[in-house]
């Protein structure tokens, strides 16, 4: 009986200990992380338009026989920018390498990394300078409800809406017209590799991009750009991520050579306080259960001891009485 009781108690405390540890180590927000060092017949990518996988690279526009084309590649899992149940915001960092090659001089139009509402599809009429992002973007002065998108563009051709006369990098919010843009520092479309990094800091409300040219590391100027933005004020809770590109009469190919993406979370002060209170309450309840269990076990042990002593005393009394 004593062995059984002690074993049960030990098992109970083991469960309490494990539960207590699990409480403070359970992930409260889903994190996404992946790394494509090259591309094969990837089932994790949804390809639209002229996008395809060829020779280990993700090709967004590859057929020069299509005079006006657009392609998209979207990762099959969505990311959660904000979790209302935990109050956590998502930060992300993505690194990718790409190559743009001019087929018909002077070449046009460019590629982009984008975030769009979950389930977003390649728009109709998104060829050429629309970069596979927006439908019939040439009428850029008229905002449309379905143009809900944030992108970082690597633009190789000057269009009417571009502030910079030449190849440039821009940050776009719900429009093909960039809110921030900067000269690329060197040609983006000479078939050389370009390495890019994009980061979003939810605490600082900052989206930033930097880019380098591995075959020419001494390119002058500051090849970086940033913009103050709260993504949760522009995009819904769940978004799709991916790449898009567009080309027109002056055809060029757009290839993604590698892609790494990782998210992390940043708690709001209110959510931290609520989480701390909940953790303390649950931790207190678990501790209280442990105290109650110890008390009950001790009481049962004392009760059994008294019962046994009473039995022994009665037996001795009976023996003395008969003696």
- Specify the pLDDT at position 135: 87
Which residue, 178, 182, 156, 179, is CA-closest to 169?
Answer: 182
Spatial neighbors of 254 by CB under 8 A, at least 6 apart, are: 59, 60, 61, 71, 98, 100, 110, 111, 245, 247
Could you tell me how far CA 84 lies from the centroid of its own chain? 16
- Specify the pLDDT at position 217: 76
More confident residue, 220 or 127: 127
More confident residue, 20 or 145: 145
**Mean pLDDT on 220-228:** 87
pLDDT, one tens digit per residue, over 61-88 is 988 888 789 999 999 999 999 999 988 9
More confident residue, 273 or 253: 253
CA distance 112 to 60: 10
pLDDT, one tens digit per residue, over 291-315 is 445 454 554 666 665 554 454 444 4
Which residue, 201, 192, 120, 119, is CA-closest to 156?
Answer: 192
277 pLDDT above the threshold of 60? no
258 pLDDT above the threshold of 60? yes
Query: What is the pTM assigned to this prediction?
Result: 0.75
């Amino acid at each position: 009986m004593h062995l059984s009781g002690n074993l049960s108690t030990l098992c109970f405390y083991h469960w309490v200990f494990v539960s207590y540890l699990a409480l403070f180590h359970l992930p409260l927000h889903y994190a996404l992380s992946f790394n494509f060092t090259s591309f094969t017949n990837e089932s994790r990518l949804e390809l639209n338009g002229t996008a395809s996988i060829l020779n280990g690279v993700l090709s967004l526009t590859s057929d020069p026989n299509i005079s006006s084309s657009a392609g998209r590649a979207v990762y099959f899992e969505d990311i959660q920018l904000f979790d209302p149940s935990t109050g956590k915001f998502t930060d992300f960092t993505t690194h990718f390498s790409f190559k743009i090659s001019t087929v018909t001089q002077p070449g046009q139009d460019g590629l982009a990394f984008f975030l769009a509402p979950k389930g977003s599809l390649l728009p109709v009429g998104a060829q050429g300078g629309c970069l596979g992002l927006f439908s019939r973007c040439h009428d850029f002065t008229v905002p449309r409800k379905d143009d809900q998108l944030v992108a970082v563009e690597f633009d190789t051709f000057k269009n009417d809406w571009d502030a910079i006369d030449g190849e440039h990098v821009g940050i776009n919010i719900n429009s093909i017209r960039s809110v921030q843009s900067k000269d690329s520092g060197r040609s983006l479309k000479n078939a050389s590799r370009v390495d890019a990094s994009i980061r979003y800091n939810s605490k600082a409300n900052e989206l930033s991009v930097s880019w380098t040219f591995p075959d020419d590391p001494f390119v002058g100027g500051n090849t970086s750009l940033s913009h103050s933005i709260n993504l949760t004020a522009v995009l819904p809770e769940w978004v799709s991520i991916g790449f898009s590109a567009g080309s027109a009469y002056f055809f060029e190919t757009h290839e993604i050579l590698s892609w790494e993406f990782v998210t992390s979370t940043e708690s709001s002060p209110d959510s931290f306080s609520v989480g701390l209170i909940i953790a303390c309450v649950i931790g207190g309840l678990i501790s209280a259960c442990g105290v109650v269990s110890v008390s009950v076990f001790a009481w049962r042990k004392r009760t059994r001891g008294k019962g046994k002593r009473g039995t022994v005393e009665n037996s001795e009394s009976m023996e003395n009485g008969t003696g």
